[in-house]
Every structure is written in C-alpha cells, then in structure tokens.
Amino acid sequence: MKKRGRIKLRMIKTWQLLLILVPVLFADATLLRLDHIRMTEMRDAVLEADAAEDDQAISDNLEKLKDYVFSNIVINIVEENGEQRVTFGTGPFYLEHQYIRAANAALEEAEKTIGSDSNPNGNVYQLASEVCRPQAIANGWSWNDANYINCMMGEIQKYPAADELQDKIIASLPSTELYRKNYASPIWAPTLTGFMILITIVVIVVILIRGLIWVILRLSLFFA
C-alpha cells in the first residue's frame, strides 16, 4: 500500500500540484473566513445581551463563544495602540454596560454612607447629584452612564470630609479587568478547516522538496 501510494505521488507532476494548491488555498481562506464570521456573530450576541442588561444571556452567550473559540481556528485582526496585528481568537472586548451597572451599584451603596446627616458638609452625595443631574439631562446621560458616574465621583472628591469615604468608594468599585474578555483559539484544531490546512501544508512541502531536488540535480549536472 505504501509503495502504491509513493508511485501514485510520483506520477503527479509538480505543475499539477501547483494547480491543486490554488483551489486548496482558496478553500482554506473561505473556511477561515467562515470561522471568523461565526465568532463575530457570537461575540456580537454577547455585546447585545450586555446592552440589554440581561446577565443570564451574557453568561450563556459567553460560554457558547468560549467553547467555539477554544475548539476552532479563529484568525482575527485587532487594533492595539493604533497598530493592527493578527491574532488567534476574539481579541479583547469589554462588557461596558455590565461594568457600569456594577459601578453604579457601588455608588448607590456609597450613597447610604455618604448621605449621613452627621457629615459636616451635609449629604455629599446629594450635593454631587445636584451638580451632575442637570448635566445628565442636558447631555442625555442615563443614570448608569459612565459620564454620569465620572461626574459624581469628581464632585464627591471636592469635599474634604469625604476623603475617607472616597477611598472606600474607590475600593468598592469593581476592577475593569473583570469585564474585559479575550479568548484565544488554538493554532490548529481537528475541524474541516484544520484538515484542509494540513492538506495545504503537505502539498506545499512536497512542492518545496521537489523544487529543492530539482535545484540540486541541476547544480550537480552543472559541476559534473
């Protein structure tokens, strides 16, 4: 069987292998693109669930996305520090709305502490709200908008009596890294795309070996 396989391989001309390589490369590119599109659709589903404030849907869609990326070859182009680079996986994306909700919950908890009558500046949270709410209305910010949260934090910081409480607020705010996702895919996986890539590599290696043998024979004839 091995001898027959070798004979059949020898019968295939190099130019025929080159012709075979063209559609194989096209198939590789098509399959990789389809894998990338599928990953993008699943990632968008996560972001849509985040915008809809549906934590259960976020969790479910993240699990599906993670399983897909971990078991498929996903090539992606991401932008980092103004430069584009090729990576295997989703690239970084953020659950912005979920973070804002968590940060807003921390502020609401702080309101119970800061809004105490014993504070020499009065209800600091209320004073900050009186400044930020008109800005929110004018700019169309929702009460869980990042701009509104930043405004509130900035106003609270203006009151010296709230320094200790400010440290407590900052400590209670969730880390943004918890809401940053980046799933890496394998360089090769046992999928249709993976096997097509293996076929491509085999064809290219055979062509290169034949080319190297041809060069060596030509040089040996030249110096003979």
Domain definitions of the chain by residue range: 2-92+182-223, 96-178
Least-confidence region, from 89-98, 102-111, 120-129, 162-171: 162-171
pLDDT at residue 38, rounded to an integer? 96
Question: Which CA distances in Å does 57 have to 37, 70, 162?
Answer: 20, 20, 38
Q: What is the pLDDT of residues 28-59, one digit of tens each?
A: 999 999 999 999 999 999 999 999 989 999 99
Q: What is the pLDDT of residues 146-157, one digit of tens each?
A: 788 788 878 877
pLDDT at residue 164, rounded to an integer? 59
Q: Is the pLDDT of residue 77 over 80?
A: yes
pLDDT at residue 140, rounded to an integer? 83
Most confident among 1-5, 123-127, 185-189 (mean pLDDT):
185-189
Strand ranges inside the chain, DSSP E: 75-80, 83-88, 93-94, 180-181
Q: What share of the chain is helix, strand, coil (3-state, %, to 5)?
A: 70, 10, 20
CB distance 143 to 104 below 8 Å: yes
Q: Position of tokens 């407590």?
A: 168
pLDDT at residue 162, rounded to an integer? 54
Quick one: average pLDDT of 18-31?
93
With bands split at pLDDT 50, 70 and 90, how would you rate the model's confidence at 160?
Answer: low
pLDDT at residue 5, rounded to an integer? 47
Q: Is the pLDDT of residue 68 over 80?
A: yes
pLDDT at residue 117, rounded to an integer? 47
